[in-house]
Chains A and B, each alone.
Chain A
Amino acid sequence: MAGHLRPAHWLLAAVLLAVLCVPLLGDVFYTRLATRILILGLIAVSLNLLVGYGGMISFGHAAFVGLGAYTTAILAFHGVASGFLVWPAAIAVSALGALVIGAIALRTGGVYFIMITLAFAQMLYYTSVGLERYGGDDGVRMAARNTFAGVLELGRPSVFFYVVAAIFMAVVFAFSRLVRSRFGRVLRGIKDNERRMQSLGYDTYRYKLAAFVIAGALAGLGGALNANLVQLVSPSMIHWIMSGDLLIMVILGGVGTLFGPVIGAAAFILLEEVLAGYTKHWMIVLGPLMLLVVLFQKGGIHALLFRRGAAHG
């Protein structure tokens, strides 16, 4: 793909640049919206490593977002506010959770994997509801965003946005290297034909588990960022609907592509904003719309943009 810059690539670059300029508008609403898109885009990218590259349909990705977010909020609750400590801790807790859940869930494959990831996420959901000390159903508030030794003032929406944007770009860059590396190629090989990779001598279980842990860790980072954005961490972050929404973002944007999930996250959030402006029952539109996308538009928005671009150029 590299070296063949199509109009759609230029469009993508222009959109990214435009997004980076959003805080210059000076409207906090749009800055927050752009921040949310980047955070959910990052989380969708991490899920895409499983779904798009590894062929693992995880219906419990919100669990790792929730682990990261709860780690952030609970540490803040106990007075630990430094992002230097909290963010790595959130990543570590999510990675550990992914290691345990992944080690069990990956003993099977296919449709079992979907049900097991969904079930374990539901377990963590009920656990978070049971955390009476941390608000139970209502969740736990963060009085302030994490601090970075007085260097970064995350309380200012534009500063927080650029921190998120920097992390987002670093993650996407690292992700693009990862999926092109030997590891990424093995992972795609497993998705295409696991038996073949096994007979070639690859321990596919370990590759899949490694991918699951990496995706979980990234989701944890996304959770920590999201906790900082909304400053309220509640069980709804772990709800199975959240896991489903994340899958929708990945598929809507384009599964197995670098930027597809980001486009999907942006489209999902903007669609929500627009539809919710017309009716509070916007799900009644989104549901059938998604059904139509699944039935008739293979490859999502990414394919729509890039296949057209290829046909004309």
Chain B
Amino acid sequence: MSLALLVEQLLNGIQLGMMLFLMAAGLTLVFGVMNFINLAHGSFYMVGAFLAATFTAWTGSFYLAVPLALAGCIVLGALVEIAALRRLYDRDHLDQVLATFSLILFFNELATILWGTEPQYMPIPALLSGSIPLFEGAQYPVYRLAITGAGIAIGLLLYVLVVHSRVGMLIRAGATHRETVQSLGVDIKLLFTVIFGLGVAFAGFAGMVTGPLLAVQVGIGEPMLIVAFVVIVIGGIGSIRGALVGSLLVGLVDTVGRFILPLWLGYRFGPALASMAIYVLMAVVLVWRPQGLFRLARG
């Protein structure tokens, strides 16, 4: 096993981790504040990727397509929240699961009608194509570094937003003292829509920037959603910090596991075991700390 390959896998793991963080941050924010479990979160990842692919084809520019697709995602998310989901915040989790599962079925079918079943491919934007040398004998694609950087930047932005801004103060207060926030005259409905839209924007953005690395097709959102759940279970629900640590852990274990386990255990059992690695990690964390690594204190 060469060092260069291992470093490449580690970087890939961090990149996957940052994309998972974008997914998990929205899920955990929405759950922390609204006590709402949204299975349709993965649909926004898929919609983001499809919109980016379509707008890239129309405008010829990835850099134009991303803001357009982002706007599209946010509008869609706000519409869905206002029309249906906000009615579910006070319902039990079973209703939320059922309703958002129904939305997945709807979005997947809608995407099939609009974009067909053939996978779509997005070119890697020209400025970011190519590779840079890491150290002797090791090359790494610029694009992956760029989206890792974008993920980190958004993570920092979110941190500043949540910890140092007025909206962030309301978000934190809404998670722990909802009634107090309401009685202070804050438009809680609007706050919820904003938080939901923020989550949708993150998920959509993850889909958009991952688009050039994969075949964009119907159903790509849910595997990401389920891994984001693993992240949240590990990190502790409602905790942004937990989502970050969980994402990096899961991203690294998954990527490095897929690389190392077949080398160690052979190609007969290695790949199968590698695909189980993150779930085993989740089970271990659950046995050790059933509420996850960072538990959100509820007041």
Chain A residues packing against B (C-beta within 8 Å): 51, 57, 59, 104-105, 107-108, 110-112, 114-116, 118-120, 122-123, 126-127, 130-131, 240-241, 244, 247-248, 251, 255, 281, 283-284, 286-291, 294-295
Interface centre among A115, A122, A247, A255, by most chain B C-beta atoms within 10 angstroms, is: A115
Encoded as 1 (CB less than 8 Å from any A CB) or 0, chain B from 92 to 117 comes to 01110111011111111110110000
Name the B residues within 8 Å of A290 (CB-CB).
98-99, 101-102, 105
User: Do the beta carbons of B237 and A291 come within 8 Å of each other?
Assistant: no
Residues of A within 8 A of B232 (CB): 115
Subset of 13 A-B contacts with CB under 8 Å: A51-B94, A57-B97, A104-B283, A114-B37, A116-B282, A127-B276, A283-B109, A287-B109, A289-B102, A290-B99, A291-B102, A295-B88, A295-B99
| B298 at the binding interface (Cβ < 8 Å) | no
Give, as a whole number of angstroms, the nearest-CB distance from B60 to chain A. Answer: 31
Count of A-B contacts judged by CB separation below 8 Å? 116
Given A51-B94, A107-B287, answer yes or no on A244-B233 (Cβ-Cβ < 8 Å): no
Q: How far is the CA of A104 from the CA of B139 in the complex (A)?
A: 42
By Cβ-Cβ distance, the 5 closest A-B pairs, closest first, are: A287-B106, A290-B102, A115-B229, A287-B105, A283-B109
Q: A248-B101, A290-B98 are in contact. Are A127 and B286 (CB under 8 A)?
A: no
Bound CA–CA A283/B106 (angstroms): 6
* B interface residues (Cβ-Cβ under 8 A, vs A): 31, 37, 84, 87-88, 93-95, 97-99, 101-110, 112-113, 222-223, 226, 229-230, 232-233, 237, 271-272, 275-276, 279, 282-283, 286-287, 290-291
Residues of A within 8 A of B283 (CB): 104
User: A123 near B105 (CB under 8 angstroms)?
Assistant: no
- Residue in contact with B226 in the complex, picked from A105, A118, A131, CB distance below 8 Å: A118
Q: Are B226 and A119 in contact (CB under 8 A)?
A: yes
Q: What's the nearest-Cβ distance from chain A to residue B64, in Å?
A: 30
Contacting pair B287 A104 (CB below 8 A): yes
Chain B residues near A116 (CB-CB < 8 A):
233, 282, 286
Q: Complex formed: what's the CA distance from A294 to B105 in Å?
A: 14
Q: Once the chains bind, are A294 and B102 in contact (CB under 8 Å)?
A: yes
Q: A248–B105 Cα gap in the complex (Å)?
A: 12
Choose among A107, A114, A123 the residue that contacts B97 (Cβ–Cβ < 8 A): A114
The interface residues of chain A lying within 8 Å CB-to-CB of B88 are: 294-295
Cβ–Cβ < 8 Å partners of A104 in chain B: 283, 286-287
Identify 8 new A-B residue pairs, CB closer than 8 A, beyond the known A127-B276, A131-B272, A281-B112.
A120-B279, A123-B275, A127-B275, A240-B226, A241-B105, A284-B110, A291-B102, A294-B99
How far does the Cβ of B226 sit from chain A's closest Cβ, in whole Å? 5
Q: Is the CB of B31 within 8 A of A287?
A: no
Tell whether, in the assembled complex, residue B108 and residue A127 are in contact, meaning their CB atoms are under 8 Å apart. no
Looking at the assembled complex, report how far the CB atom of B47 sits from the nearest CB atom of chain A, in whole angstroms: 15
Which A residues are in CB contact (< 8 Å) with B31?
111
Measured CA separation A247–B272 after assembly (Å):
28
Tell me the nearest residue of chain B to A291, going by C-beta.
Answer: B102
CB neighbours of A118 from chain B (8 A): 226, 229
A286-B290 CB under 8 A given contacts A104-B283, A247-B98, A251-B98: no
Known: A286-B105, A290-B102. A115 touches B233 (CB 8 A): yes
Chain A residues with CB under 8 Å of B276's CB are 123, 126-127
Q: Are A108 and B286 in contact (CB-based, < 8 A)? A: yes
Q: How far is the CB of B227 from chain A (nearest CB, A)?
A: 8
Q: Check A122–B226 contact: CB distance below 8 A.
A: yes
Contact A284 B113 (CB under 8 A): yes
CA distance A305 to B87 in the complex (A): 25
B94 contacts A291, CB within 8 Å? no
Is A107 a contact partner of B286 (Cβ separation < 8 A)?
A: yes
Q: Tell me whether A59 and B106 are in contact in the complex, defined as CB-CB below 8 angstroms, given that A108-B291, A111-B37, A116-B286 are known contacts.
A: no
